[in-house]
């Protein structure tokens, strides 16, 4: 290779480029603080406006009031309908979130299930926002996903501590959380709720220890004994989630 060819080859290294999704995501992370403040300001103004409309409807005549109420009802229905397609960062997203929460209250369901469903919805919102390249929505979507993940992990910790669920159910719920995290990682997004995850780990540790003791007391095949060794290693390294998954496999 002569000098000219070498220089040409060096110049061809400009084919090395970063991933477009990562470029968008990294930019949004840098400006996250400022965008969050703008979103908060927008929802505050929206709340003020709805208060003004309430006062106005009271002051009109009854017939006019009836027409106004009917129109308002249609508008609200339209807003709620439209709000279902919004994502974090959109003006009407708070309407969507309120609808989801009220549905939860009316249909019942336990706290853990609701937290996990909420987390799932926020993750899908974030995935959609990144794929559609909606730059201005990314910071809010990330915040919402992080908050919902923290909520899900917290609910799970409570369930583990209060022993509300059996080990299989716990492992399945943890798996759902991890799968969502993986899905986001494929898009170059890493959300972690470090404090909450640590609390969950602290709750899982005695559970895993107890399961290991139970497994050691029963008679196992050679292969299962090997697997116990793997589980113990995971436990010693503080990888309680992975240990739990292995315990589930051995128990089935």
Binding site for other proteins (CB under 8 A): 1, 3, 5-7, 9-19, 22-23, 26-27, 29-31, 34, 188
- Least Å from the CB of residue 140 to other proteins: 16
Centroid of chain to Cα 184: 9
Q: Which C-beta is closer to other proteins: that of 30 or that of 105?
A: 30
Report the sign of the C-alpha dihedral through residues 130, 135, 139, 141, in that order.
negative
Centroid of chain to Cα 147: 7
Q: Which C-beta is closer to other proteins: that of 7 or that of 76?
A: 7
Give alpha helix (H) positions in the chain.
3-11, 20-30, 32-58, 62-83, 93-107, 111-131, 138-161, 167-186, 194-217, 222-236, 240-251
Q: Which C-beta is closer to other proteins: that of 26 or that of 75?
A: 26
- Least Å from the CB of residue 152 to other proteins: 26
Q: Which C-beta is closer to other proteins: that of 1 or that of 58?
A: 1
- Least Å from the CB of residue 202 to other proteins: 28
| CA–CA gap between residue 26 and residue 147 (Å, rounded) | 19
Q: In this structure, are residues 50 and 94 in contact, taking their beta carbons and an 8 Å threshold? A: no
- Least Å from the CB of residue 146 to other proteins: 17
- Least Å from the CB of residue 13 to other proteins: 6
Give φ, ψ of 202 to 5 degrees.
-65, -35
Closest CA to 97 of 72, 125, 70, 73: 125
Q: Which C-beta is closer to other proteins: that of 5 or that of 221?
A: 5
Q: How far is CA 40 from CA 22, 29, 37, 90, in A?
A: 25, 17, 5, 11
**Residue 139 tokens, joined:** 């910071």
- Least Å from the CB of residue 128 to other proteins: 22
Q: Which C-beta is closer to other proteins: that of 34 or that of 105?
A: 34
DSSP reduced 3-state for 88: coil
- Least Å from the CB of residue 80 to other proteins: 33
Q: Which C-beta is closer to other proteins: that of 130 or that of 215?
A: 130
Closest CA to 89 of 13, 28, 11: 28
């Amino acid at each position: 290779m002569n000098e000219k060819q070498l220089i040409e080859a060096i110049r061809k290294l400009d084919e090395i480029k970063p991933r477009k999704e990562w470029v968008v995501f990294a930019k949004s992370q840098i400006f996250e603080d400022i965008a969050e403040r703008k979103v908060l300001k927008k929802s505050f103004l929206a709340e003020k406006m709805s208060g003004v409309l309430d006062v106005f409807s009271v002051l009109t005549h009854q017939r006019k009031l009836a027409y106004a109420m009917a129109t308002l009802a249609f508008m609200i229905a339209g807003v709620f309908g439209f709000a279902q397609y919004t994502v974090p960062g959109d003006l009407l997203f708070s309407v969507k979130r309120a609808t989801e929460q009220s549905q939860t209250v009316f249909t019942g369901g336990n706290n853990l299930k609701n937290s996990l469903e909420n987390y799932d919805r926020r993750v899908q919102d974030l995935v959609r926002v990144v794929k559609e390249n909606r730059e201005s929505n990314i910071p809010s979507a990330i915040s919402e996903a992080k908050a919902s993940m923290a909520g899900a992990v917290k609910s799970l910790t409570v369930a583990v501590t209060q022993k509300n669920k059996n080990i299989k159910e716990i492992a399945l719920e943890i798996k759902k959380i991890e799968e969502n995290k993986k899905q986001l990682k494929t898009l170059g997004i890493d959300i972690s709720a470090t404090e909450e995850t640590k609390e969950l780990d602290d709750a899982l540790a005695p559970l895993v220890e107890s399961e290991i003791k139970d497994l050691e007391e029963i008679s196992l095949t050679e292969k299962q004994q090997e697997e116990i060794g793997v589980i113990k290693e995971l436990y010693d390294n503080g990888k309680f989630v992975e240990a739990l998954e292995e315990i589930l496999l051995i128990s089935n």
